Amino acid sequence: MIIRRVTVLGGSGFIGRHILHELSARRLAVRVPSAHPDQHKDLRILPGVELVEADVHDESQLRDVLRDADVVINLVGILNEDRRRRFDDVHVALPRRVAALCGELGIRRLLHMSALRASPDAPSRYLRSKAEGEAAVLAAQGPELQVTVFRPSVVFGYDDHFVNRFHALLKLAPGWLPLPAPRARFAPVFVEDVALAFVRALRHVPSYGQVYELCGPKEYALWEIVSLIAEESGERKWVIRLGDGASSLMAALMRWLPGKPLTPDNLRSMKVDSVCGRDGLPDGLAALGIRPTPLEAVLPYLFGQLGVRRRYDRLRRFAQRDEDEWLGRLP
Ligand SMILES: NC(=O)c1ccc[n+]([C@@H]2O[C@H](COP(=O)([O-])OP(=O)(O)OC[C@H]3O[C@@H](n4cnc5c(N)ncnc54)[C@H](OP(=O)(O)O)[C@@H]3O)[C@@H](O)[C@H]2O)c1
């Protein structure tokens, strides 16, 4: 299969940016549709990356961004619904439409992002909708379209939504942090391992038709991860492990906070362990020759330095706001 052009849906997000770096480094032409291209201007400096404004839920705009692609990577996903964004639209209808358009446009390769423990019987709507999306793309595969599905546990790295969220909560906490679902289990996987898995799978024939689990090398209870974050970041707070009743109450309250730090649906997702090997599916990192990076190896580097994107934003803000002052200071 000759691969020159890749369209990455959701490429402006946390995982997508790492995939873009890998694709750009391999000199592929990459198209990234975004509803908010102005917020992702930094991507324009990546060689070969074309950032375009598009609403991927609009079929004709979606068709335009997929046109000419040899491969589609679909990373679009949400953790919580709101009035505008429903799981059914984002996790089910969109993948179904993408797979159908691959057939119509003669695109032969589709890599689809799902989530570990997705299942029609899962306790949360998030995991059930991810399972429906997987089923839709897998149903579309055949000799003309090769599909690979990835199911990561929680993903960590610079600018992630997990370590950074708990770090922010620890910073706000007065001396103790009440932690819902403390015994929920995860096998955090490093974002650069996930990005490498996607890129290695592009031409890897044995990955055709596979549903790959992606996990880090070690399993932890949530309270252990939060204690590690507290230790490594220097925000040494007492982590109070809440029981089921108090966890539900916190989720019911926190869903109304800005950014919805925790919702009842998130809590239901945590009722199943987000660890590999429970569903009889292959280990994607092993299959693609990637040695998983331990959380402990990366965690010390996540604090005390800004993530790539925030560093860029800060530079840009500084350049615009203080342009005269900056020029005045030049020797
Ligand atoms: N992060 C994790 O720990 C983790 C774990 C398991 C699975 N996953 C899955 O991996 C995928 C990527 O995760 P991520 O953490 O990189 O997410 P993210 O940072 O939130 O990025 C998601 C991207 O999708 C686009 N997007 C979001 N909502 C959209 C909508 N309603 N319609 C169209 N585009 C939308 C956004 O692009 P614009 O705003 O620029 O349009 C954004 O770039 C998701 O499918 C997620 O469910 C993530």
Whether 115 is in the pocket of ligand 1, judged by its Cβ within 6 Å, is yes
The answer to whether residue 141 sits within a structural domain is yes
Residues 318 and 316: their CA atoms lie apart, in Å, by: 5
The answer to whether residue 223 sits within a structural domain is no
The answer to whether residue 111 sits within a structural domain is yes
The residue segments making up the domain with residue 52 are 5-156+189-215+275-294
State the CATH number of the domain containing residue 195. 3.40.50.720
Whether 90 is in the pocket of ligand 1, judged by its Cβ within 6 Å, is yes
Task: Measure 240 CA to ligand 1 centroid, in angstroms.
Answer: 30
Helix then strand then coil, in percent of the chain rounded to 5, is 45, 15, 40
For residue 326 the two structure tokens come to: 């900056």
- Residues of the chain under the 50 pLDDT cut: 306, 315, 318, 321-331
Task: Measure 325 CA to ligand 1 centroid, in angstroms.
Answer: 38
pLDDT tens by residue, 130-183:
999 999 999 999 999 999 999 999 999 999 999 999 999 999 999 999 999 999
Whether 37 is in the pocket of ligand 1, judged by its Cβ within 6 Å, is no
Spatial contact of 77 and 90, defined as CB atoms under 8 Å apart: yes
Burial of 71 (0-12, 13-18, 19+ CB in 10 A): buried
pLDDT for the residue 1: 84
DSSP-derived 3-state class of residue 148: strand
pLDDT for the residue 331: 32
For residue 320 the two structure tokens come to: 């615009």
The predicted model scores a pTM of 0.92
181 residue type, one letter: A
C-alpha Rg value of the chain to the nearest Å? 20
The answer to whether residue 258 sits within a structural domain is no
Task: Measure 18 CA to ligand 1 centroid, in angstroms.
Answer: 13
pLDDT for the residue 304: 65
The count of structural domains within the chain is 1
pLDDT for the residue 303: 84
For residue 236 the two structure tokens come to: 């040494």
Whether 181 is in the pocket of ligand 1, judged by its Cβ within 6 Å, is no
